[in-house]
Amino acid sequence: MKLSRVIAIPLRQFYLYRGSAARVVPLFAWVTVDMILWGFMTKFLGGLARTSYRFVPALLGAVLFWDFMTRVMQGVTTAFFEDVWSRNFLNVFASPITMPEYIAGLLASSIVTSSIGLVVMIAVATMAFGLSFGVYGAMLFPFVMVLFLFGMALGVGTTAIVLRLGPAAEWFVWPIPAILSPFAAVYYPLSTLPAPLQWISRLLPPSYIFEGMRAVVAGHHFPLAMLAAAFALAFAYILLAYWFFARVFRHAVRTGLIARYSAETIS
Amino acid sequence: MPERCPVHLVFMPATRAPYHCIRVPTATKAACEPVLRVENLRKHYGALQAVKGIHFQVCPNEIVGLLGVNGAGKTTTISMILGVLEPTAGSIHISGIDLARHRARALASTNFAAVYAPLPGNLTVYQNLRVFALLYGVPDFRTRCQAVLKAFDLQKFRNVKCGVLSSGEQTRVGLAKAMLNRPRVLLLDEPTASIDPASARDIRHTIRSFARRSEVGILWTSHNMYEVEEICDRVLFLSHGDIILEGDPKSLPSQFGKPTLEELFISVAREPLDWEGRNQ
């Protein structure tokens, strides 16, 4: 893997973001709105429930982490879409860049853009609503890492779908976090779901993290075996997403899809 | 004296009558260490044979014209050499490196420009060149960038977004990017298609001097036969996915009783059997 070829992808993103408010504003606008909305919602629920349950770290914290995972996914897909929108596939893939280098470049772009969103969310949640990350203790880092890994897997996997189906398939990508969220136990405990749906949840690494987050906030123990399962699943999804992208890319090169991508005619 | 290419035996789709590739010996490049070697290259899409086992090579300092009607297989051939389309069979060697086995190494010494592959319009000329310099591993980017900007008269557009440039200026940016890594193999697919005649002549001159100076071999497609005659050392006529004629564009027309290369092109495109039979 050659570093200069990997760097070319985030550098291109940097140039695009530097000259475009339309790209910069969404990095923090929607997550800020989400923090404000859920911040007041947690305040309202806290007042309504009259219990000792800590809504801010349990609910607002969960929304923050879920938004972070969504930003990681969208960071990957948006960097890919820039090549789709500017019809740049032929120029990029006729260069010496390899598929792993290209994916690494997309991930590097995503790390930067999702970090910006995370910093803004943390600032709003802590300053406006008193969210303290100290409550998660030593579990904070592994929680974030699992969500980050799963976000990357989603990004690479959905990118492969768009590569396979053509530019119009981009509309499959945007709702994916919303589709997964009922099963990811972001807003409510896993036990709220009917038993059959809980099986779907158990296939999703975020469900372990949000269950663990609520347990830690409530002062309970979060078994390390659950954390290990979440990591194992997240890594498995990354491998699966990479395999899927590689397969789709190979198909695209074999059929000529790369050379005539915008035509959307090659199945 | 025209001779038959030893490995080609092609059947006309309509008549099933066989005809052969005719290779006319050229004065140039009798023997060389080719920068591009294509052997038995095939591409099938199901039953459709887009490219039917072609062979050719390009020598250093040589400009080879790849000619043929629309749909003859030129862009398919170029796509395979660029590594964006996998051949059904055959091999491509760039500077002796097998493209199928060592894609990144082979493509590091290749580049291309095509009217259907403009650089992203939302980046400036400089930004595009910077990004592609990283992709191609260009050392000393500043110096090289200045050189290609000057060669294609693009200095004043250095910080202008490519999308607001005229089509001719965008073509020049594409050519600047194609020269950036000092390629050993340069693929130019109708490089002057959207450029005015005066600028096209300047660009041909620039590319010609680049080919003479830098040991590059160029594969050039164009529908402008005057341009091909002026710049190409050798031409390959592609028809129905096969090379059916090869030779020096300056002497070929007279050898086949045609006044110009354009007349020869039209003749080959319309009646390949007819003109071939007259020269046996």
Residue at A109 is within a domain: yes
B chain contacts of residue A82, beta-carbon cutoff 8 Å: 120
Q: How confident is the model at residue B215 (pLDDT cuts 50, 70, 90)?
A: confident
Q: Answer whether B120 sits within 8 Å of A5, measured CB to CB.
A: no
Name the average pLDDT for chain A: 91
Identity of the residue in B84, B110, B122 whose CB atom sits nearest the CB atom of A93: B84
Q: What is the mean pLDDT of residues B223-237?
A: 93
Q: Does A246 touch chain B (CB under 8 A)?
A: no
Residue among B109, B80, B85, B117 at smallest CA distance from B193: B117
Is A191 a member of any domain?
Answer: yes
Strands B89-94 and B97-98 come out as antiparallel
Q: Name the CA dihedral angle for A197, A201, A202, A203, rounded to a multiple of 10 degrees.
A: 110
Domain that holds residue A171: 3-260
Residue partners of B232: CB distance under 8 A and separation at least 6:
B63, B64, B65, B220, B249
Q: Do B135 and A97 touch (CB under 8 A)?
A: yes
Question: How many residues are given for chain B?
Answer: 280
Asked whether the predicted pLDDT for residue B257 surpasses 70, the reply is yes
Q: Is the pLDDT of residue A80 over 50?
A: yes
The whole-number average pLDDT for the span B229-240 is 93
Residue B13: band (very low, low, confident or very high) from pLDDT cuts 50, 70, 90 = very low
End-to-end CA distance of chain A: 31
Residue A16 maps to a domain: yes
Q: What is the mean pLDDT of residues A195-220?
A: 93
In a domain, A267, yes or no: no
Minimal Cα–Cα distance from A90 to chain B, Å?
6
State how far residue A89 is from chain B, nearest Cα, in angstroms: 9
Question: Cβ contacts (< 8 Å) between A97 and chain B: which residues?
Answer: 104, 135
Q: Is A185 part of a structural domain of the chain?
A: yes
Q: Please, which residues 113-132 of chain A have a Cβ atom closer than 8 Å to chain B?
A: none
Of B45, B76, B127, the CB nearest to A15: B127
The answer, for A12 touching chain B at a CB cutoff of 8 Å, is yes
| Per-residue tokens: A86 | 């500017």
**How far is it, in rounded angstroms, from Cα A174 to Cα B126?**
32
Residue A266 lies in a domain: no
In this complex, is the C-beta atom of B116 within 8 Å of any C-beta atom belonging to chain A? yes
Q: How many CA atoms lie within 13 A of B34 on its CB side?
A: 17
Does residue A31 lie in a domain region?
yes
Residue A164 lies in a domain: yes
Residue A256, chain B, CB below 8 Å: the answer is: yes
pLDDT-derived band at B4 (thresholds 50, 70, 90) equals very low
Tokens of A57: 């770290």
CA distance B269 to B240: 10
For residue A67, name the pLDDT band (cuts at 50, 70, 90). Answer: very high
The domain tally of chain A equals: 1
Higher per-residue confidence, B105 vs B257: B105
Q: Do B136 and A96 touch (CB under 8 A)?
A: yes
A82–B137 C-beta distance less than 8 A = no
Do the interacting molecules here have an ipTM over 0.95? no
CA angle, corner B5, sides to B3 and B183, nearest 5?
115
